[in-house]
Each structure stands twice: as structure tokens, then as C-alpha cells.
Structure 1
Amino acid sequence: MDFTECYSDTVSIVAAAARSGCRAQVQKLIRRGFSVKSRDNRGWNALHEAAAAGSKDCVREILSAAAGCSRSSRAYVNSLTHEGESAFYLAAQRGHLSVVKLLLKAHANVDQPTNDLSCPLYAAVDGGHKEIVEYLVSKGAEVNGTHTASCWTCLHQAVYKGYIEIVHILVSVCHLEALDDHKITPLFVAAQYGQQKCLEILIDAGANVNAQAADLATPLMIASQEGHVGCVALLLDHGADPNLTCSCDWPQLPIHAAAEFGHIGILNRLIAVTDRVCDRGLGMVSPLYLAVRKQSKSVELLLREGYSSDAQDCTHILGLRSPLSFALFLTSDEPYSESVRLLIAAGATLSEDDLMYALSTEKTDLLQLILQHRWIPRPDWKRGTISSPEHAKRTVLKLQELRELMCVALSEVHFAACWLPLLLQAGLEPSLLLQPNMLEEADGGVLNYLLEFVNWSTLSPSLKLILHQRKEEKTWTPHAHFECVPCLSHLCRLKVREILGSDVLMRTDVVQQLPVPVNLYSYIQFTDIQQTSYTHSPHPPVSQRIQGYRSTHKHRHVL
């Protein structure tokens, strides 16, 4: 090889002329003895430049000049750049059909791979050069070879680019179920990238609509995840299975992907065809778990369509106990999310962990939300009875929920200044809080507030002893009237509370209907009692407190 015209940063003089497409200049230089084989720093020679430029006349002149023995001529035609690109590859890549035909007549290798495993046909497909693809296929180019690091075939690439006409050409000659390195078929690619027309061509050609990738993902799952409504409809209409498990790790279905990413139109379609066993079935996962991540519209739709706000316990599958507990965990350091509101309004069961988020903080937003949708039953309340129209709008706290509410409240006495007024005004029987640890640990102001709601003269001797000790230790300063027998006005107020029901007394306008002077309304509703303010002190995050609560808590109180 003649290296006399190799340069570190430019092409040879013949290659420069070929790049410009000047046939006369190429002829002149060749006659003067300049070599067509000189390479630049990319490994390109004059034939590469002419082919890339699409100059058929220059290619013909260069090939003629390179013709000596047939062996050396063929080697020159198939010479490669440092990237492994032949002149034939460059012409196919850039869409120069006439040059492709000329080089093929000169014995160019139709399937010569590049360093990155591409080939002329793959390059033509990638560039969308339909006529070249058609020509190369007719000349016997390998159509099912795998190319690039991902092992895609030409059909994968045509579908990815959305070249409908090229897909039409390839489906008749290519293996429809060809797999890449993740066992993904061309049809999967069409579903993933929303190439609906290509998807339709593949389906009509007989491609498998339920072909699963290495991780078990299906075309329907990926189309649902990416929000391609048309592709989802096409797949379902042609037999795609919405109940096929799409993950090696947990029983994921297409409906989970639609719910997680908030594709409401797709979610609506999948709700109608997905087996409801995923909602509550053991070993399954409700789509609500995925929806609560931030997709409140998905939560709203699922609940409206009858999915359970409680779902199933997925601790052993996802490490999540319920959709509500997951939603609270996601927003533990913020005000409650819309998903939390929707779940509580739908009647989601409250666990001790859930109640920790409401009571183990100085913020009362979540507790107020719970009390908007739950009412605390009176001790003599019987299931099936409604105390008032106000009750009919809310769900009664179940006995287990009330037990857990009391357990959490009595373990979070430090925050009682925040939650105590809300619970008492919502109708909680105050005597339930008259427990030793409450009287021992509560702030003095909290203790005084609580005692205003009870007949303190009837406390048990053990509780009176605790109060006496706190008074002696000066950790509690009682109101002056606690020293004597409760006055008649105090006892009357308690009796009114008992008869009317504390929550009715506090939350409705029943008091305004009583035949008493207006200035007694606040007295009857206990609003004349001054609430204590919360004294801030550093506490671990709620999630950390829950872990500690689980490991150390013992039920302090049983209803």
C-alpha cells in the first residue's frame, strides 16, 4: 500500500476530489499517478469518500483505477475503515441506491459487519431507505442477523423507527419472534414505543401478542406502562392476556402499570377485563398499592369501580401492609396526600401504625381528616343503629380500631395537647383515658383539661394517689375547684353530655335547639375550657417511632 499521501488530519488529494463528486478532477489525479488507496486517520480511502458522497461516476473511476488482478480489486472494494465500514456500507447507510448497485456488481460483500456489529441492510433500515432495503433483500442479504450490542434484528430496528413500508417488506422474510438480548420481540418493541401501525402489521402477520421478555413483561404490560392507548386497545382486541403475570418478583399485571403511571383511559379498559382476584386474593397485589405512589386519579377510579380500600396484606410480597399504610409512609413528613384522603373516605381500616401518623405529631391535619370520616361510638351504641344524620355520613370506628386508637393515644401522651381536644370533641368517652400512665406522664395543662370532662371525685383510689403524688412533686398544679366536691354546674354539664351523646353535643347544632339561654351554649359544649398548648420538643421521625412502638409496645388498655 502506498502511504505517501497519508495525513494525520485530512484526506488524500484523490479522496478530497471524490468527496466533492468531481469526476474530471478524480480522472486527472489518477492519470498523474496519485493513489486511490491512500487512507486518512479514519482509515478512509477515495472509494469510501465517493461512496459516502453518493458519486456514482467517481466510484466507477476509482474502481477502474483499482482494477488489477481480480483478487486485489475485490479486496479494495471491501476494504474497511477503522470503524469497520465498507464503501458498500457507507452507500447503503446514506441511501445511495445507484452506488449500492454498482459496488455490488464489483463484488462488494452484502453482509460485511462493522465493528459495532451493524451491516449494510441494518444501516439502510436505520436510515429509512426503503428502496435500498428492498434491493438488498432481493439480493439475498441476511435478514435475521443480530446487530449492535442489544442483538436487535433489522425488523426490531424498523419497528422502533416506525418505518411502516420497511416493516411491510421485512415481515414477509424475517423471523417475527426474533429475540434481542432481553428476549424482546419486534412486536414488544412496537408496543413499547407506541408504533401502532407497525404493531398492527406484525399482528396481521401472525406475531405472538403474549410473547414475554426475560423479566416476564408482556407487550400489553409495557404499552400500559408507557400510556399507548391505541396499542393497548389493539392488543386486547387480538387476544392479549391481561391476567398474565409480568414480573419474576411479584404477580404484576398490566393493570398495575396503568395504575402506577396514571394512564386513566388504559386503566379503565383494563379494569373491565382484569380478574378481580388481584384486588383481595392471597398472594396477589391490589393495583391500589401502585396507584397511591402519587396517582390519586388512579386511586379514585379504582375505588369508584369497587376495588377495596383495604386490599390484601402484602407484607411478604412488597413489604407493605395496606394501601393506606403505604400512602401514609410516602408522605410521613408532609401533610396527608390526596390518596390518603380518598382511602380514608372510602373506609380503609386504620391500624396502629396508621394511627401513629395521626397521633405521634404536633400536626393534627390527618387526625382531623380521620374524624371527618369516622365517628367514635358511645359505650352503649349497638351496631346497626344510627345516632344522628351526622353519623350516617361517616363510618363508625370498629371495636378493634378503637382499641388501637386508645393504645396509640396512651403511648403518645407527649402529644396529648394536640390530639386530646380533637378526640374529646369527636365524642371519645374521656374515662377511657383515665389510665395510670396518662395521669403520670401528661403535661399539667393536659391533665387539667381531661379532668374537666369527668367527675374527678369518683376516680379510683390508685388514680387519686397518682394525682396526689404529682401535686406533691409539683409536676402538676390542679385547678382550684378540683380540690372540692364537683359543683352542680359541672355535674349538670356531664349529665347533658351523657344524655345527648358527646359527639352530638360537640359536632352538631343540637345545642342551639335546647331551650336554654344563648350564653350557656359554650358552657354546654365545653368551649369555655381553656386548652393547653403543645410544648415542642425534639422527637424522632414518625416512621422511626413506629419501629420503636412495634418492638416495645404492650397494650395498655383493653375496651
Structure 2
Amino acid sequence: MKCFGCGEVEPHGEEPAETSVRILPVGRAAWCRGVAPTPGVPGGGEADASVPLRRQTPTRVGGCCLAGLLPPPRGDGAPLHSGVPDTPLSDRTHRVEEEVLEEEVVLEEEVVMEEEEVLEEEVVMEEEGVMEEEEVLEEEVVMEEEVVLEEEVVMEEGGGDGGGGGEEEEVLEEEEVHSCPAEYAGESVPQALMASQHRGDPLRPQMEMEDLSDYSVYSQLTDEELLQLAVERSLSDHQMTSSSSASDPPHRPDPLTSRDNPNCDPFIDLYKALRRGEEVSPVQAVIMDGDVAALMDLVGRRCSSLMEPNHDGWIALHDAAYYGQLHCVAILLKAYPNSVNSWSLMNQTALQLAAGRGHVSCVDFLLKHGADPNIANKDRETPLLAACEQPNQAIVELLLKFGAQVNRCNVQGETCLHVACRHGQLNLCRTLLEAGADLNRKNIYGLQPIFTAAQHGHVDLINLFASKGADINGQAPDGASPLFEACKNGHISAVEALLSLKADANRAMKSGLLPLHAAVQNNHSRIVSMLIPLTSMVRVRHCGISPLHLAAEHNRDEILALLIQAGFDVNSRLSSDRSAMFEDRRSTALYFSVINGNLEATEMLLAAGADPDLDVFNPLLIAVRFCWMEMAALLLHYGANANAQIATEPCAFPAAILLRMESLPMLKLLLDHGCDAATCFDCPHGGKTHPPITPAWRPAEEMRASRVTPPRQCIQFCEAVSGSRSAGPIISLLLEYVGHIHLCSRLLDVLDRRSDWKPIKRKALPPHPLMQLCRLKIRHQVGVRKLKLLHTLPLPVTLVRFLHYDVQCSLF
């Protein structure tokens, strides 16, 4: 190694002498032996081990070049001079520094490469260790399955010897329990093992010597190891299931469970629990896995975890019933018979959990061993209600056989018959009725079972309840009947069944709506066709709203045509209270169609005789405001008033001009159909000075009926047009539909803004063309409505076009 300063090299292979130059590392640099680190005091000395070498000050001792360049400090902070003057570093020193830095870079790269090789070797070793652990676990699983099979064979052989076999097993189990010292009786398996080791008690050797047949590999595992084993077994079983063929189904510890409820898989439940981050206890893992041998081992050791409730208040029996592990339920009930009716925090019993999951064998076993079928949870749901919610005929019959009360209700007031009706279970409803279910019991919403059956369209149940005497026309607190609900939900077969049973089609709700209204609103055209002949027009008029209103509001064109064809009044109006619900005080079906922009529905209503001028806010003004040319033309064709006014926005000229004067095609359409243009030039100020213009008028406000603000002053045309950029063309078009008029001073000021508008001022001055005056006179005498019939008279086509403003005066 070279010195940082002088570049002298330390000899290799022999120990240098005391006076030889020796390299001492200082951080990433190195100093000669002649430069000894000084622990902060003048005069040299040994290096302080507590201070990093890179921070210690070198002291000149020998003849190294750096000794004179970097003198050591004094005790007072001033540098000590050794007689050698301070000089800058030479070029040789710079070269030495560059060589040293290059060597350091090479060394660092070699160290990094060595570290990467070590990491790769560690990764390979870890992978080999994981593979070895997986092989060991697979061997353990095979051994456990062999032990379980041997125990099942032993149990089957012992059961075939007669009734004495069971008594002998009970005696053996009692002996095993008594063989365990009393001081370990309340401890879990891992706790008992650890305590026995600390106390010097040969617990495990003693138990293994007394009964080797009860030995299990789980007895040596802690709670955490049991959980890990359960997870690994579940995953390995899942892999075996996916790889095996359909003809060779995987083995399940409890075949009765899959036969009772094939959709219930404990391994899926375990996987979901782990995905949700829920804590699965070792006991729960054993039960979910259906490991009978491990559970018997825990029971034999009187493991306290079997009776300790979890965060939901469940004990081991609840888990066994929930997952449908019949063998586990039998073992736990035999060990703890008094736990059969134990409650969870939600007052759930094992029977209710098993009934709700559809485990028939578990329900049967629990009932035969004293489970109470009438214990309800905090939602007042009994096991019978749970069995009806997840419809299971066999469980319902078992519960009824053991005395379950059939008319108990939950917090919603629903009985088992309500629940069975909701699911459309005909046989289940028959069973409940035979057991004494009340057909007229109402829930908290006042609904009977037949009402629930009609809501969901269960025709068989409607006929069954009707045959048992149910009220077909019974009403809910809001007045709805079963027929109303069936019509609203579109159950055609249910409607037919109710009508065949003489259900009243004119029984209205408290809001006045009939079943026909419900069918129209929800677009059930077939039901509408069935109800139209049975619905009274008098009852419709008393409702305050016609089915036509609902059809037009919701754009039900097909139903609208049916109602018009059936003779419903197209000019029927909403009642005052219903009209007050809308800000624009709409009242006719035509208004609904226009404001929806439904041209076809509007044409159907107008063709059927709908009056376009009945509403407070004329429908024509809606079309003009949104510049719907086709809609406006259709309304004008059927006689809409082009001079309609707005009650909340009075003006001295037609309101339609106020709403859309900027659109010249719309303005011409209005003028062609009788809009009075002369009123636009009737200014009360004339040639006098006009008052200041009021604040800017907002067109959107004319459609709102204000109850608070007083009516505005009458708006003049000159005031409205003065703010428009198209004022000149608007005034010019209006002048063609008037005779002798005078422009007020404000209109003259408006026309003076642009030079190209000056001819418009001359157009207003007399004399006016005689042909224009004659056209105006003829149109006034004939009238707007009769102008549409001019083409039927023997008149020249050019004259008819001229009168309709299709030809200009100069072209006649």
C-alpha cells in the first residue's frame, strides 16, 4: 500500500522495523509510519481508539513528505511548526492521489461482486430449504391421513361388536382424562406441555405409555403451528382437487356435510377468512379442516380453548355447526353436553347457525341432543326463520317436528310464512300452513303474506292463499293492494290471477293512484291493456291525475296511444294540488310532451284534440324558448296562440318575440302564423326621451312563477331590442308585417349605430307599397286560421304564396 502523501510502499512478506516506513490506514486514505496519529494533544502519542482515524490529526515523526505539509495542532489551537516551511503539494503528490483513488475504486467493485455472489448463494440455500420443508410437510400429511383411516377402521370394527363398544370407549376416554394431572386440566395443549417441562412432570411420556392409540402428531404442536398446518393442508387439498379427475373426487373428512349442503366448503371459508385478515384460531382451523383425530386429542386433554368464546362469542360448537362438521359436533356435545344451547354475542345458538347454513345432519343431531328450536337471536330470528330464509324443506320439517313455533316474527314483523312467500316456496308454505301459520299476520309495514306473494309475482302462492281464505283486496297502510303491487312490478301472470279472483281494479291508494296508474308509470303495456276495460273513468277523474299525464311525462308513447284510443280525455288537467308541485304550474298532458321534446307524443295529443292553450305557461313558448322549429310549427299548425303572454313577465308585445327575437326563422314563423308585429312599435314615449333601461333582463326567469317578488313593469319592445346585435334585421323583418307605424326615438338611435341600417329607417317612412298594404288587409280580414284553407280556393298559386309571404312584393 502506498502512502497518501509521499507514495512510499510498505514491504511485503516481512515485518518492517520500528523505524521503517509503514502505512497506517486513516479512513479511505493512508499515512506513513512517520506520521503517527495524535489524540488531540501536541507532541504525538498513540492513536485514540475512540476517535475515528480520519478525524485524528497526523503528527510529523519521520521524514514523510506529508509531515511538513500537515503540521499537527497545538493545545491552544495554533499549528506546531517543525522547521519545515509550508509549501503547496507537488504534481507528484497529485499523481499519487489519483493512483490511490483508482485502486480504491477497483477494490470497491471487487467487494460489491463478492457480496452479490454471497447473496445469490444464500437465495439458493433458502429455496432448497423451502423445498425440503414442503417435502417434510407432505410426508406428515400422508402420515396423518393414514392415522385417520386406521382410527376410522378401528371405530367401525368397535361399532360392529354391539352396544358394549360405546361403553368401553367412554370408559377409556374417562381413564385418559383422569390420567392427566388435575393441575393441567384447565390449560390448553401447548400451555400444559410447557408447564410440564418447567415443573419436571413427565406429562407426555406418561400419557403415551398409558394409551398409545390416542397419540396424535398434533399433540406436539403449538397453537401457531396448528394454524399453519391447517392452512397448508387446506391449500394442498385444494391443489389435489384441481388436479384430480371428476371420476375420482377428493376425500373429505365429513361426507355428510357435502351431501347436506354441497355449496358449503370449509376450505373456501378458511381462504376467505385469511384473505379478509381475520384471525383463525387453531381450534377453528381444526374444525374447518374436519380433523376428528386432532379434535379428539384436544377434548381428551380438556383444552380450555374449546369453551373459550372468540370475539363474536362463538365457542368450538358454534364453529362446528356453522361449517357442518357433524363428527366434530358429536365429539363436542359428548364432551360438553351443557353447551348445546350456548349463545354467542348475537344470541346465536349452534342450532340456528346450522339451520341457516343448511346442514340437515347437524340440525338433526342437535335437536336430538336437546337443542331448543325456539331460541331467537338479537334480531328475533329463530332457527325456523333462518331455515326459511335459506329455504330448506328438510330442516323446516325437523324443526316443526321438535316443536318450533311457526308464528314467531323477527324485528321486521315477518313470520316464516312471509319469508317463504318472498322466496316463492310453495311446498314450504303448505308445510307452514299445515303447522298452523297465520295467513293474515301483518309485518311492521302492514303487509300480509299474500301481499308479499303479489309483490314478487308468485302465482301459485296467490292461488294457495286465496283458497285458504286470504283477503284478495287487503290494503297496506298507504292504501296499496296486492293488485296494485303486481301491476307496479309488472307481474302479468299475477295480475291475471288476481283479476280472475275478482280483485278490485278501482281500489285507489291514499294518494289517489289506481293500479292503472302504476302500470302506466312503469311501462307495462300488457297490464295496461288488461286494466283499461276494468277501470272507471269517474274514478280516474277523481284521482286528480290522468294516466295520460303519466304516459306523457315518462314518454310512454305506446301506452299513450292505447289510452287515447280507449277514450281518455286528452284535455284533462291536473288537480290544483298536483299542479302546485311544479314550478311552472303545468296541468295538461300536452305540456309534458312538449317540455320533454317528444314530437310524436305531441302530435298524437294534438291530433286527438288537445288544446295547446290551456296551460298557464303556453307550451308554444317552451318550443320558442328552446328554438324547436318543428315543435313550434306543429303547435302553430294546430292553433297555438302566437300572441301568448307570460303572467309573471308582462310585456307590451307578444312574449314569443321576447323569448327568441334573435332567431329570424323562428320570428318569421311566428309572424306568418298571426303574431302581432304592430304592438312592437306602440311605444308610449314616442319621439320623447326614454327613461333609463332597467337591469338586464334574463330570459330564463320568464319560465319561473315567482310568489315573492311583485310583477315587473311592462317591457317595451324598444327596451328589449336595444341590447341585441341583430336589432336592425329584427326591425326590418317586423316592418314587413305592419302598415303605417312610427319609430320611437330609441329605435331610431338603435338604427343609427350602423351605417348599413339606415335604409331600414327609410323603410318605416311613408308612403308604403300598395301591395304590402293589400296583403296585410287581406290577412286581417281572412284571419289566421282560415289562411290555412286558401289553397282550397280557386286562386292563383302565386297569390296564395304572396299572402303566405313566400313571394316578395317586388316579384308580384
Q: Deviations over 1:8-35 (max 9, x none)?
A: 933354x554444444443343234335
Question: In 2, Cα distance between the equivalents of 1:239 and 1:524?
Answer: 63
Q: 1:183 aligns to what SS in structure 2?
A: coil
Match of 1:277 in 2: 538
Q: Which residue is 1:169 aligned to?
A: 431
Note the C-alpha offset of 1:157. 1.0
Q: Does 1:410 align with 2:671?
A: no
| 1:316 counterpart SS class | helix
Separation in 1, partners of 2:540, 2:400: 50
**Could you tell me whether the CA contact under 8 Å between 1:255 and 1:274 is conserved in 2?**
yes
| Cα displacement string for residues 114-160 of structure 1 (whole angstroms, at most 9, x for unaligned residues) | 1222111011111111011122223321111111x422111111111
Q: C-alpha separation between the residues in 2 aligned to 1:318 and 1:515?
A: 49
For 1:548, the equivalent position in structure 2 comes to: none
CA–CA distance in 2 between the matches of 1:487 and 1:28?
Answer: 118
Aligned twin of 1:304: 565
C-alpha contact 1:159 1:167 (8 A) present in aligned 2: yes
For residues 808 and 728 of structure 2, the distance between their equivalents in structure 1, rounded to whole angstroms, comes to: 14
Please show how residues 220-259 of structure 1 align to structure 2 within 5 Å: 220-247=483-510, 250-259=511-520
Task: Name the structure 2 match of 1:485.
Answer: 767
Structure 2 distance, partners of 1:325, 1:493, is: 34
Work out whether residues 288 and 323 of structure 2, in 8 Å CA contact, stay in contact via their aligned partners in 1. yes
Does structure 2 conserve the Cα–Cα contact (< 8 Å) formed by 1:51 and 1:59?
yes
Q: What residue is the counterpart of 1:453 in the other structure?
A: 737
Look up the equivalent residue of 1:51 and give its one-letter code.
A
2:426 partner letter? I
Q: Which residue of 121, 140, 150 corresponds with 2:384?
A: 121
Selected match of 1:138 from 397, 401, 404: 401
2:399 & 2:326 partners in 1: Cα distance?
18
The within-5 A match list for 1:106-117 is: 106-117=369-380
Aligned residue in 2 for 1:37: 307
Provide the rounded CA distance (Å) in 2 between the counterparts of 1:468 and 1:317.
46
Question: How far off is 1:57 after superposition?
Answer: 3.7
Distance 1:326 1:363 in 2: 14
- Give the deviation of 1:79 after TM superposition: 0.6
Q: What is the number of equivalent residue pairs in this alignment?
A: 479
Cα distance in 2, alignment partners of residues 31 and 62 from structure 1: 11
**CA distance in structure 1 between the partners assigned to 2:420 and 2:571 by the alignment:** 46
Query: Contact 1:50/1:58 (CA < 8 Å) preserved in 2?
Result: yes
Distance 2:657 2:441 in 1: 65
1:9 aligns with: 279
Match of residue 668, structure 2, among 416, 421, 425: 421
The reply on whether 1:327 has 2:568 as its aligned counterpart is no
Find the residue that maps to 2:418 and give its secondary structure.
helix
Rounded Cα–Cα distance in structure 2 between residues aligned with 1:257 and 1:416: 43
Describe the shift of the 1:490–1:318 C-alpha distance in structure 2 as closer, same or farther (beyond 3 A).
closer
Partner of 1:467: 743
Deviation at 1:253, TM superposition (A): 1.3
Question: Partner of 2:654: helix, strand, or coil?
Answer: helix
* C-alpha contact 1:2 1:37 (8 A) present in aligned 2: no
Q: Are residues 313 and 365 of structure 1, via their aligned partners in 2, closer, same or farther at CA, if it must alter by over 3 Å?
A: same
TM-superposed deviation, 1:295: 3.2
Aligned to 1:201: 464
- Relative contact order (C-alpha < 8 Å, sep 6+): which is higher? 1
Structure 2 residue runs of 5 or longer lacking an equivalent are 1-184, 190-222, 225-277, 684-714, 722-726, 753-757
Q: Distance in 2 between matches of 1:296 and 1:26?
A: 66
In the aligned structure 2, how far is the partner of 1:162 from the partner of 1:308?
Answer: 40
> Which deviates more from structure 2 when the two are superposed, residues 287-296 or residues 498-507?
498-507
Corresponding residue number in structure 1 for 2:694: none
Contact 2:561 2:604 in 1 (8 A): yes
Which residue in 2 is equivalent to 1:394? none
Cα distance in 2, alignment partners of residues 329 and 487 from structure 1: 40
Q: Cα gap change, 1:127/1:474 in structure 2, threshold over 3 Å: closer, same or farther?
A: closer
1:353 is aligned to: 617
CA contact (8 A) 2:483 2:495 kept: yes
In structure 1, distance between residues paired with 2:506 and 2:416: 31
Match of 2:319 among 49, 68, 73: 49
Structure 1 residues 503 and 424: alpha-carbon distance in aligned structure 2, compared to 1, 3 A threshold = farther
Name the % identity.
29
Q: CA offset at residue 163 of structure 1?
A: 1.8
**Do residues 155 (structure 1) and 417 (structure 2) align?**
yes
- Cα 1:429–1:469 change in 2 (3 A) is closer
Q: Match for residue 293 of structure 1?
A: 553
Match of 1:260 among 521, 533, 537: 521
Cα distance change on mapping 1:2 and 1:114 into 2, 3 Å: farther
Shift of 1:435: 5.1
Q: What SS does the corresponding residue of 1:99 show, helix, strand or coil?
A: helix
Change (3 A) 1:45 1:524: closer
Gaps of 5+ in 1: 68-72, 376-396, 457-463, 531-559
Q: Distance in 1 between matches of 2:370 and 2:298?
A: 25
Within 2, Cα distance between the matches of 1:128 and 1:155?
Answer: 12
Matched, 1:62 2:62: no
C-alpha displacement of 1:356: 3.0
Q: What one-letter code is carried by the residue in structure 1 that aligns with 2:522? A: F
1: CA distance, partners of 2:749 / 2:574: 48
CA contact (8 A) 2:317 2:350 kept: yes
**Structure 2 length-normalised TM:** 0.53
Change (3 A) 1:359 1:61: closer
Cα distance in 2 for residues equivalent to 1:337 and 1:2: 84
CA contact (8 A) 2:748 2:761 kept: no
- The residue aligned with 2:85 is none
Q: Highest CA radius of gyration, 1 or 2?
A: 2
CA contact (8 A) 1:280 1:308 kept: no
Change (3 A) 1:164 1:508: farther
> Does structure 1 residue 86 correspond to structure 2 residue 349?
yes
Which residue does the alignment assign to 1:26?
Answer: 295
Letter in 1 for 2:673: A
Give 2:530's aligned amino acid.
R
Instruction: Write the distance in 1 (CA, Å) between the matches of 2:655 and 2:357.
Output: 74
1:490–1:339 distance in 2 versus 1, CA, 3 Å: closer
Q: With structure 1 as the length reference, what TM-score do the two structures score?
A: 0.74
The answer to whether the Cα contact below 8 Å between 1:16 and 1:46 also exists between their aligned partners in 2 is no
CA distance in 2, matches of 1:31, 1:470: 109
User: Per the alignment, do residues 323 and 167 of structure 1 end up closer, same or farther by CA in structure 2, a change over 3 Å counting?
Assistant: farther
Aligned CA RMSD, in angstroms, stands at 3.6
Offset at residue 38 of structure 1 (A): 3.5
CA distance in 1, matches of 2:565, 2:536: 17
Report the Cα distance in structure 2 between the residues aligned to 1:402 and 1:487, rounded to whole angstroms: 26
Cα 1:473–1:17, aligned 2, differ >3 Å: closer, same or farther? closer
Provide closer, same or farther for how the CA distance between residues 329 and 213 of structure 1 changes in structure 2, counting only shifts above 3 A.
farther
Alpha-carbon contact 1:77-1:87 (below 8 Å) kept:
yes
